[in-house]
Amino acid sequence: MEILAPAGGPEALRAAVFAGADAVYLGGPAFGARANAKNFSREELAQAVEFCHSRGVRVHVTVNILLKDQELEEALDFVRFLCRLPVDAVLVQDVGLFSLLRERAPQLPLHASTQMSLHTPQGVKLLWELGASRVVLARELSLEEIREIRQACPVELESFVHGALCMSVSGQCYFSALLGGRSGNRGSCAQPCRLPFAAPGGTGHDLSLKDLSFVKELGQLEQAGVCSAKIEGRMKRPEYVAAAVSACRRAAQGEAVPPQLLEDLQAVFSRSGFTKGYLTGERGASMFGVRRKEDVTGATEKVFSSLRGLYRGELARVPLSLTLTQEKGEILLQARDQEGREAVARGPVSEERAPLPRQRCIQQLEKTGGTPFYAAAVEAPEAGVPCGVSALNALRREALEQLLALRQEREPYPWREKSLGFAPHPRREGPLPLRAQFRQVEQLCPQAKACREIVLPLETELSRLEELGRQGWGPLLLDIPRALFGTENRTAQKIEQCIAAGFDQFLCGNLGAVALVRALGGTAHGSFSLNVTNTASLDFLQDLGLASGEVSFELTARETARLGGTLPRGLMVYGRQALMLVRNCPLANSPKGCLHCRKPGCLTDRKRKKFPVVCRDGESAEVLNSVPLWLGDLEKELLSLDFGVARFTVENSVECGRVLDALFRGETPDFDYTRGLFHRGVE
């Protein structure tokens, strides 16, 4: 397996490479999901690529945040620079940028970031068909679910094996954005989940998971079809990087990982120890943990000093053959690597000296310490060569330096220049049409009949849908769960049944759902969690065949109004915004475990604010904001939209009706509400 290490800065990069990483991932001066890491300037990136390539280490650069229209040109210019270096892959979250790069740099390997929330066979297959060479899997998958994905398509699969676990599915967390304006989807997460949030009977830190460690079980991941073992930690110290790489390298080679190394790895950073995460298929209270005093004090200078020894010197990792010959009064030393690169050093014959014996020549040439090379084969004349040891050493140094420089040279990826040139979107005339989305059918109210569309859960019984159709409710859209872990086949069967009964319009909150609807012949509409923040993403959805798309609620009024393209678009104008999508419910962090809630539970923060938690069919849950969003009285700021979305979660039927009445009249409500990010935006 490839051992893929984080490099938050030059020192961590050196630690990763010298400790034995096969590849590193790092960020440039912008557009990376770890904005607070040291990261690399363009000059440092060029140096990093040369350093890594000369040692046979691949470099993956993160351009994995959601982008706004005004940032696309700069992001494209940055990737154009990466193509010239060239890097070995670029990690991308934004589907708009993904599509633009496939047009402009068709040979550049693109990796679908874990921020794309890919966790189903058909979702992964869709990205592979669109041109992704690798998919970084969602961290919530089990080994069995990874096997199912492996069987669906031949794309490379990358999985996290060590490091921090987010409570939310990556790419589906808006907690930091909505509470503090720092977007996790933009690389600026403030980690509010590590603060006290209390569930009934919980520990008081019920949004905080232990760190993952699946190091000793790397063989199981490889058998499941994973080709790259990824270590989390671009914000971590070099000693942490070296320890994790060293442990993973031993495990990948089938060696026993020294107990002391595992102890040091836990000492340098952990949260109440480690968990094997979702990979084992087990969830519940055992996965929760926080940074305790003993977790902090375990990271002593003695531990750090020991771990620095793992990367104090070069790791001899590049095999080469050395051939020593004598011809026409010169001594020639040829150095050749496995890829066929060849360097030749030349020196004069020393007539005054007796020939240095063949075996002594070989011994000297094998001394490649302090370089990344080791001599896999050495040839020398039977009669030796007439030169001194120091002269032979100089030839060896010169040949290896030449070969090191040759290994830095790579052909750049071709780049196709193309103007963005987005078509402007026409402004709407007349009142804002509404799409009313209900968590359960019992919330339906008479006012919903005046809405342009009604959205109900896919799980709604077919007989009830048919009854609503006969009563004139509709048009009806069926909301596919945002989390489809291990349930793709069951979901596909339900979609097929609905289409056969005449219900062929579906709301899709992830790319896996889009792939299913496309394959089964239904019509897909995009929900907010597809994270549309630019015109290129709207065009991407339109090219996939979607009939409409909901744009991200992380956009401001001005940013929303500037979106171009022709795909009909909407925005949430009422509802408790989803702060997190979770597979391990925070309400399960209690001695009773999962409570199988029939009605919404809640979390309480340190300011005594209540955050509802809504379960979806026992498979996932959403943590909702403490107050609902309200944009219903901002008609003039919504003219660029084709529809508004009223999303009902914890309201009863009467409350739903009152909200719709106020929306139709464009009133300011008589309850506490928030404008969300519509005016203040995000970092």
Query: What are the pLDDT digits (tens) for 287-296?
Result: 999 999 888 9
Check residue 474 and give its pLDDT.
84
Measured distance CA(584)–CA(207) in Å, rounded: 9
Check residue 352 and give its pLDDT.
79
Note whether 342 and 333 are within 8 A (CB).
no
What is the identity of the amino acid at 69?
Answer: D
Note whether 637 and 427 are within 8 A (CB).
no
Q: What is the pLDDT of residues 109-139, one digit of tens each?
A: 999 999 999 999 999 999 999 999 999 999 9
Q: What is the DSSP string of 40-70?
A: --HHHHHHHHHHHHHTT-EEEEEE-S---GG
Check residue 21 and give its pLDDT.
98
Check residue 599 and give its pLDDT.
87
The pair phi, psi for residue 184, each rounded to 5°, is: -65, -30
Check residue 537 and give its pLDDT.
98
Check residue 597 and give its pLDDT.
78
Check residue 311 and give its pLDDT.
96
**Strands across the sheet containing 373-379:** 342-348, 330-337, 318-327, 373-379
Check residue 257 and give its pLDDT.
96
Check residue 345 and give its pLDDT.
97
Q: What is the pLDDT of residues 325-368, one digit of tens each?
A: 998 889 999 999 999 999 999 999 987 788 999 999 999 999 99
Check residue 678 and give its pLDDT.
98
Note whether 507 and 478 are within 8 A (CB).
yes
Q: What is the pLDDT of residues 228-243, one digit of tens each?
A: 999 999 999 999 999 9
The one-character DSSP state at 192 is G
- Of 78, 77, 74, the closest CA to residue 61 belongs to 78
Question: What is the mean predicted confidence (pLDDT) over 170-178?
Answer: 97
At 250, the pLDDT band (50, 70, 90 cuts) reads very high
Note whether 643 and 452 are within 8 A (CB).
yes
Measured distance CA(551)–CA(532) in Å, rounded: 5
* H or E segment to which residue 404 belongs: helix 389-407
The one-character DSSP state at 312 is S
Check residue 595 and give its pLDDT.
74
Check residue 33 and give its pLDDT.
72
At 34, the pLDDT band (50, 70, 90 cuts) reads confident
Distance, first Cα to last Cα, the chain: 36
Measured distance CA(423)–CA(564) in Å, rounded: 6
At 253, the pLDDT band (50, 70, 90 cuts) reads very high
pLDDT beyond 90 at 315: yes
